Amino acid sequence: MATIDRMLGRLVRRGELRVIDAAGRLHDVGTPDPGRPRVTIRLADRRVGLDIVRHPRLGAAEAFIDGRLIIEEGDIAGLIDLIRANGAWEKPGPSLAAPNPLRRHWGNARARLDRFNWGAKSRRNVAHHYDIGDRLYDLFLDADRQYSCAYFTDPANTLEQAQADKKAHIAAKLALKPGQRVLDIGCGWGGMALYLNRVADVDVLGITLSEEQLRTARRRAEEAGVSDRVRFELIDYRDVTGVFDRIVSVGMFEHVGPPHYRRFFLKCRSLLADDGVMLLHTIGRMGGPGTTDAFTSKYIFPGGYNPALSEIVAASESVKLIAADIETLRLHYAYTLKHWYDRTVAARAAIVALYDERFYRMWTFYLAGARAAFLHGGMCNYQIQYIRDRRTLPITRDYLADAERALHARG
Amino acid sequence: MATIDRMLGRLVRRGELRVIDAAGRLHDVGTPDPGRPRVTIRLADRRVGLDIVRHPRLGAAEAFIDGRLIIEEGDIAGLIDLIRANGAWEKPGPSLAAPNPLRRHWGNARARLDRFNWGAKSRRNVAHHYDIGDRLYDLFLDADRQYSCAYFTDPANTLEQAQADKKAHIAAKLALKPGQRVLDIGCGWGGMALYLNRVADVDVLGITLSEEQLRTARRRAEEAGVSDRVRFELIDYRDVTGVFDRIVSVGMFEHVGPPHYRRFFLKCRSLLADDGVMLLHTIGRMGGPGTTDAFTSKYIFPGGYNPALSEIVAASESVKLIAADIETLRLHYAYTLKHWYDRTVAARAAIVALYDERFYRMWTFYLAGARAAFLHGGMCNYQIQYIRDRRTLPITRDYLADAERALHARG
């Protein structure tokens, strides 16, 4: 009893958590925190606590998905937010004083096994997440199905607006000229490729490893009457040939894996014209190299890894790609995920009908957990603009705002 | 004979080089290159060629400084530009195919010995370069003595304009508010500190290890009547205490040395308020970690090292400083160095009177070599904006252009 209360007390100081244990006893911890309502959870059996102590995130996730950890007051987003806010990344523990190379070594060695995404494995990993039914993505994404961090010029903007602004923000950094050839690595359902063709009069090759994405993307290009200028292929980036004036890759690098970073950039460099520009948009971790958490690896993105900026840059500079501009989007993904979570909750009945309650709970845990990682954990989103030749692009960044304004006008 | 011509022919393909050897024989190599005039050099004795083969850059530098390598047509800037342009960084050799970890390991081990800049050694290194006489810096820098990369909104701008624009560009990234406390690490002759106080009504502590810089900076603050708000101290950054709203460091990080990067950032983090902003302006190398060339180490910046972005970021992220924005200034330092070189040449008589011909030749070699490294080699200048809390600074970068405009108006 006392032990449980002490443990819970360490977990939650600000904000209120009530735990009803398997014997029906109440444990109240924390203090009222304005704007953060109390969360009450019920543990259906005695194993839940032990599972969580053994594997904190995975144990809690599986207990919640299985329905053994039940939220009686509040919701899973509130529970995760409450716990993560109490261990916020900005308030580092003693780990800041000195790095532990041995621990990092072992952590990395363990994680390294998971990071080898060879051809066939890449396809399986992609199918695991993206081929689970187009219908699901309609239910929580924006109409253009942008499945990556949006760009909020105002946190109050709608998701549709923020995703449109994201496309313009990226297009501006690509410094596009009419008639240029663009490669979109990890094109999703084709939204970015179609947008770039429409606003900048460029030809785009979009590539994906997801058959469902490919079908949808091709259909959209046909419906827009641009399938001669916006083509989509089911092909690994390692197998692409040719030379492109521009390369864009949005939310795909998270699937590459650190052992492949150098080869990824070497391939991109070889596909990029001498005066080419590349824009990499990827989730990142702000506190240096780490490991993917067990829940995400097991349920959401097998083989996925969110890179530290030092890992990205070490690889890209080793192949002489010049990082001309790096922008760290800090809170934008938290805003994006809030929209996705709210839409998921609103679509509960439809999602349960498509899959089942377990899937619905898993999906809400994933989105709520990811949001907390961007709000309180070490996650962010990097936009890195690469060039091969230092003389490419204007010498100052003033062109970016001008280009963005012009793109909004063409929108 | 044939061997010399073959070697020279590999060195220079585009552009024309004429070498008059110690026996008076002419060796013409290369092909005409519009806009790059022919350079003719005379080798005064037979040892010069051998020295250059043994230690290419240092051998050539010392032969030039000693007057054993004489420029008969063109100037040292033309000679260095000719040779560096023929081996431009953008056209990488086979080294791109696969990294050689062993070579990197040994290179690093060798260089590491040079990189330990402890307190007393830091002071000696600083005195070597910065205490050689204030008068020299008046002869080739702008009137405000900005001894770091300027910011050219137009390559045709004057040096005075570009240095003023650099200060505004940096001030904008600091997002200053009146009354804030600013720490300027490596304040030089005080120009940045005085500027920030003047345009943003902030209090500044500028620190330097150079006694000559300190004297000049203090005198300028007194003359401006702001010595109560802009203070200067002769103190190592490791010994500073207190908390600052903003930290700026321009052209000082090059003296820190990789073994100290983590401690540098840890110290900066501890000096920075929770909602603080830091702007680091430093030379960088675009192709990954490397070593300082022998000429620069021996004659110009003992203990100096220009970091790869991956080295900077690996250290700063390990202490949880968030790199909110990174801008790579590619050609700006080449433009800056052209101005410094031209002013040095124009001030030849005065510099020779202050020192001697050897010093003058060394200084022109340094500036011409540095310019070529930014134009054809792997050097650039990074501006990295750091925050501790992801909620600091607006969520988009749109504020930067607005702030810069406002600063120019206040000028």
**Tens digit of pLDDT for each residue in B374-385?**
999 999 999 999
Looking at per-residue confidence, does A59 or B112 come out higher?
Answer: A59
Contact B288 A398 (CB under 8 A): no
Residues A69, A211: one domain? no
Average pLDDT over residues B161-166: 98
- The answer for residues whose C-beta is within 8 angstroms of residue A288's C-beta and 6 or more apart is A308, A310, B314, B317, B318
Can you give the pLDDT at residue A6? 85
Can you give the pLDDT at residue B3? 75
**Tens digit of pLDDT for each residue in A104-127?**
444 444 444 445 566 677 777 766
**Tens digit of pLDDT for each residue in B99-131?**
555 544 444 444 444 455 656 777 777 666 666
Residues A174, A240: one domain? yes
Contact A286 B390 (CB under 8 A): yes
Residues B32, B155: one domain? no
Domain assignment present for residue A91? The answer is no
pLDDT above 80 for A40: yes
Q: Complex ipTM, two decimals?
A: 0.94
**Tens digit of pLDDT for each residue in A63-84?**
999 999 999 999 999 999 999 9
Residues B63, B136: one domain? no
Question: Could you tell me where the beta strands, DSSP code E, fall in B23-77?
Answer: 26-31, 39-43, 69-73
Can you give the pLDDT at residue B100? 54
Other CB atoms within 10 A of residue A1 CB:
9
**Tens digit of pLDDT for each residue in A214-239?**
999 999 999 999 999 999 999 999 99
Domain assignment present for residue A303? The answer is yes
Which of B361, B370, B290, B371 has the alpha carbon at shortest distance from B61? B361
pLDDT above 50 for A144: yes
| B246: its two tokens | 């903003």
Domain assignment present for residue B381? The answer is yes
Q: Which of A71, A86, A101 is the last residue of a domain?
A: A86
Distance CA A352, CA A361 (A): 9
- The answer for residues whose C-beta is within 8 angstroms of residue A347's C-beta and 6 or more apart is A139, A140
A202: left (phi over 0), alpha (psi -120 to 50) or beta: beta
Chain A positions with Cβ closer than 8 Å to B: 89-90, 92, 96, 99, 151-153, 155, 262, 266, 274, 286-288, 308-310, 313-314, 317-320, 322-328, 330-332, 380, 388-391, 395-398, 401
Give the residue numbers spanning the domain of A314.
114-410
Q: Give B88's contacts in chain A (Cβ within 8 Å).
A: none
**Tens digit of pLDDT for each residue in B60-109?**
999 999 999 999 999 999 999 999 999 999 987 656 766 555 544 444 44
Can you give the pLDDT at residue A190? 98
What is the Rg, in whole angstroms, of the alpha carbon atoms belonging to chain A?
Answer: 22
Distance from CA of A91 to the nearest CA of B (A): 9
Other CB atoms within 10 A of residue B394 CB:
11
- Alpha helix stretches (DSSP H) within B141-278: 159-174, 191-200, 211-223, 261-271
Q: Say if residue B106 is exposed, middle or buried (CB neighbours under 10 Å; 0-12, 13-18, 19+).
A: exposed
Contact A90 B390 (CB under 8 A): yes
- Cβ A296 vs Cβ A304: under 8 Å: yes
Residues A226, A375: one domain? yes
Can you give the pLDDT at residue B365? 97
What's the domain count of chain A? 2
Residues A165, A48: one domain? no
Contact B326 A326 (CB under 8 A): yes
Contact A308 B319 (CB under 8 A): no
The dihedral through the CA atoms of B261, B267, B273, B274 has a sign that is positive
Task: Tell me if residue A127 falls in helix, strand or coil.
Answer: helix
- pTM of the entire predicted model: 0.94
Q: Give B90's contacts in chain A (Cβ within 8 Å).
A: 274, 320, 388-390
Residues A8, A129: one domain? no
Can you give the pLDDT at residue A53? 84
Can you give the pLDDT at residue B319? 97
Can you give the pLDDT at residue B112? 47
Rounded to 5 degrees, φ, ψ at A156 are: -85, -5
Residues B70, B128: one domain? no
Average pLDDT over residues B289-310: 93
Can you give the pLDDT at residue A56? 85
pLDDT above 50 for B40: yes
- Cβ B376 vs Cβ B84: under 8 Å: yes
- Cβ B175 vs Cβ B399: under 8 Å: yes
Look up the CATH number of the domain holding residue B143.
3.40.50.150
**Quick one: pLDDT band at residue B6, thresholds 50, 70, 90?**
confident
**Tens digit of pLDDT for each residue in A328-380?**
999 999 999 999 999 999 999 999 999 999 999 999 999 999 999 999 999 99
Task: Tell me if residue A12 falls in helix, strand or coil.
Answer: coil
**Which chain A residue has the Cα nearest residue B390?**
A330
Can you give the pLDDT at residue A133? 73
Looking at per-residue confidence, does B221 or B116 come out higher?
Answer: B221
Name the residue type at position B355. Y
Residues A320, A398: one domain? yes
- Cβ A323 vs Cβ B326: under 8 Å: yes
Distance from CA of B282 to the nearest CA of A (A): 15
Contact A323 B322 (CB under 8 A): no
Interface test with B, best of A390, A393, A402 (most B CBs within 10 A): A390
| B39: its two tokens | 């350079």
Average pLDDT over residues B231-255: 97
Can you give the pLDDT at residue B50? 87
Can you give the pLDDT at residue A110? 45
Contact B395 A308 (CB under 8 A): no
Task: Tell me if residue A129 falls in helix, strand or coil.
Answer: helix
Interface test with A, best of B278, B330, B333, B383 (most A CBs within 10 A): B330
**Tens digit of pLDDT for each residue in A190-212?**
999 999 999 999 999 999 999 99
**Tens digit of pLDDT for each residue in A285-337?**
999 999 999 999 998 888 899 999 999 999 999 999 999 999 999 999 999 99
Q: Which of B67, B85, B103 is the last residue of a domain?
A: B85
Chain B positions with Cβ closer than 8 Å to A: 89-90, 92, 96, 99, 151-153, 155, 262, 266, 274, 286-288, 308-310, 313-314, 317-320, 322-328, 330-332, 380, 388-391, 395-398, 401
Residues A186, A244: one domain? yes
Q: Say if residue A277 is exposed, middle or buried (CB neighbours under 10 Å; 0-12, 13-18, 19+).
A: buried
What is the Rg, in whole angstroms, of the alpha carbon atoms belonging to chain B?
Answer: 22
- Cβ B230 vs Cβ B204: under 8 Å: yes
The structure tokens 């806010």 sit at A85
